[in-house]
Amino acid sequence: MHHDDHIAESVLDLIRQQDSAAADIIAREQTRQASTIELIASENHVSPAVMHAMGSCLTNKYAEGYPGARYYGGCEFHDQIEDLARDRAKQLFGCKFANVQPHSGAQANAAAMMALLQPGDTFAALLLKDGGHLSHGMKINFSGVFYNPVFYPLHYDAKHPDFERIDYDAVRDVCLEHKPKLILCGYSAYPRIIDFARFREIADECGALLMADIAHIAGLCATDVHPNPFPHAHVVTTTTHKTLRGPRGGLIMTNDEDLAKKIDKSLFPGIQGGPLMHVIGAKAIAFGEALKPDFTDYAKRVVKNAQALAGALTERGYRITSGGTDNHLMLVDLQPKDANLTGADAEKWLEAAGLITNKNGIPNDPRSPRVTSGLRLGTPATTTRGFGPAEMSRIADMIDRVLSSSGDESTTRTVRAEVSDLCEALPLPGAAALKAVR
C-alpha cells in the first residue's frame, strides 16, 4: 500500500468516526470511481496532492481581496499560495495577468463579461446545441438575461468538406452585421482545432474584443497540443479541472493591464466574496504538475486515445460528428447505427455496465436535450489511469456490445465484469487501497 493510500484511508476513517452515514456515501463513491471507466469529457482524476490540498487548513480562512490588499488579517500564507498559483498560471499559458479566484468556469465567464460588456451589449457565440455552453448566451443563463447574444453557425451542409465545423466566413458575416462588442470562442462539445488567429482577425475587423473560453482544452493549450489562445485573445477564461487535471474551479487570464484591473474588480467585489483558498492551493499544485514534462506527454496521449476511440467506434458503424476529433472529445451520432437509439437510453445502459458517459445533442439534433441522438465521450480520465489505444479499442467494443444488445441484462453483466477487471489492472492515481471499502 502506498503512503497516499494510507492518507486516503485515514481521512475516511476520521470522517467515519464522526459521521458514519457521510463516510459510507463517500466510500461508495470512491469505489464507484475506482471500478468504473470514466468517459465524460469534462471529468478527470486529480492527483493525491491536489485532492488533499482541497481538504487542508486553507479552508479555514477568509481572504477577501487580493494578495497584499486583503480585508482580513492573518493572510500572509494565503497571499503566498495565491501568488504561487498566479505565477504558475502565467508561466503555463504565457500571459502577464491571471486571476485564480473564480469558483467555476461559469463564474469566470460572468466576471469577464461584466468587465468587458455593459448590460444589453451584444456578443457573438456558438449556440449551445452546436457545442457552445450555458454561459455563452443561453436565454435563462446570466449571459442571455443581461446581454444580447447573437450566434454564428457551423457548416450544416453534409457535402461540405468542413461539415459540422465552425464556418469562419459566416462568423465574419454575423459579426459585421451585428457589430458585437465581444466575440466568444471555445466550446463544451466541439472536437476540432479552434483557429484563434482567424477569430482575432474577425474581431479586429468588426471592432470587437475576443474572449476564448478554453475550459475543455486548457490542458491541451498549456502544452501546445492544441494552439494557445494567446496572443490572439484579449481575455482567456477556463476551468481548472477537465484536461488541466486540477481542482474544480475557474481562472481568468489576459495580457492587458487595464483589462486585468477591470476583471479583478468584476470578480471581487463584483460577483464573488471570499475566495476558496483551499481550492486555490490545489490550483497552485495542479499548475505545478502541468508545468512538468510528463504532463505534455499526458496531453499528447489524451488526443491519441481520443482519435483511437473515435476510429474504433467508426469501424463499428457509429458516426463521429465532423468525421473525427483533434482534441480530447468526440460526439457520437447514434442514428446511423440504430435510428431508434437515443442518447438517454445509451447513457443509462452504459452506466449499468460501468461505462460512464453523458447524452449530448448533435448539431441539428431532431431530439430534445433531455433525450438526444448522441453521446459525448472523452479521454482525459482514462488516460490519467494509463489507458492507451489498445484499451480504447476494448472500450469501443464494450460500448458496441451493450448498445447493440439494447442494454440486455446478461450482456451488461458480462461487460461490467470486464470493466472491473480493466479498472483493477489500471487503478486510479495513488488509490489502490480505495478498492477496499471497510
Active-site entry in 5, 82, 167, 213: 213
What is the separation, in whole angstroms, between the first and last Cα of the chain?
15
**Which of these is catalytic: 24, 31, 43, 62?**
62
Give the integer Cα–Cα distance in Å for 323 and 10. 47
Pairing of strands 182-185, 122-126: parallel
Residues of the chain with confidence (pLDDT) below 50: 1, 432-438
Yes or no: say if 75 and 61 are a contact pair by the CB < 8 Å rule: yes
Helices (H), 70-227: 76-93, 105-116, 142-145, 168-178, 196-206, 218-221
Of the candidates 24, 43, 61, 64, the residue annotated as catalytic is 64
User: To the nearest whole number, what is the mean pLDDT of the chain?
Assistant: 95
Give the pairing of strands 122-126 and 97-99.
unpaired
Active site residue 438: no
**pLDDT in the model for residue 434:** 41
User: Cβ(259)–Cβ(253) under 8 Å?
Assistant: no
Looking at the DSSP assignment, which residues form a beta bridge with residue 329?
378
Kindly state the DSSP code that residue 296 receives in the 8-state scheme: H
Q: pTM of the predicted model, to two decimals?
A: 0.94
| Residue 179 annotated to the active site | no
**Grid coordinates 477496499 are at which residue?**
436
Cβ atoms of 330 and 189 within 8 Å: the answer is no
CA distance 210 to 216: 18
Task: Work out whether strand 374-378 and strand 358-360 pair parallel, antiparallel, or are unpaired.
Answer: antiparallel
- Tell me what pLDDT residue 11 has: 86
Q: Which of 36, 223, 238, 239 is catalytic?
A: 239
Antiparallel, parallel or unpaired: β 319-320 and 250-254: unpaired
248 in catalytic set: yes
Catalytic-role residue among 16, 61, 248, 394: 248
Active-site annotation holds for 376:
no
- In this structure, what DSSP letter does residue 274 have? S
- The cell for 207 is 471592432
- Whether 62 is catalytic: yes
What is the dihedral sign for C-alpha 278, 283, 286, 287? negative
Question: Which triple of cell numbers denotes residue 37?
Answer: 471507466
Which of 165, 200, 242, 359 is an active site residue? Answer: 242
Instruction: Tell me if residue 348 is catalytic.
Output: no
Residue appearing with cell numbers 495577468: 97
Give the CA distances from residue 391 to residues 39, 115, 385, 388, 418, in Å, rounded to whole numbers and listed in that order: 12, 45, 11, 5, 11
CA-based nearest residue to 218, from 244, 247, 194, 179: 244
- Domains and their CATH numbers in the chain: 57-290 (3.40.640.10), 302-430 (3.90.1150.10)
Closest CA to 380 of 314, 305, 290: 305
**Strand, helix or coil at 82?**
helix
Q: What is the per-residue pLDDT for 368?
A: 95
What is the Cα–Cα distance from 238 to 244, expressed in whole angstroms? 9
**Of residues 360, 311, 306, 295, the one with CA closest to residue 334:** 360
- β-sheet with 329-333: strand ranges across: 319-320, 329-333, 374-378, 358-360
pLDDT of amino acid 437: 36
CA distances from 421 to 165, 296, 363 (A): 38, 28, 36
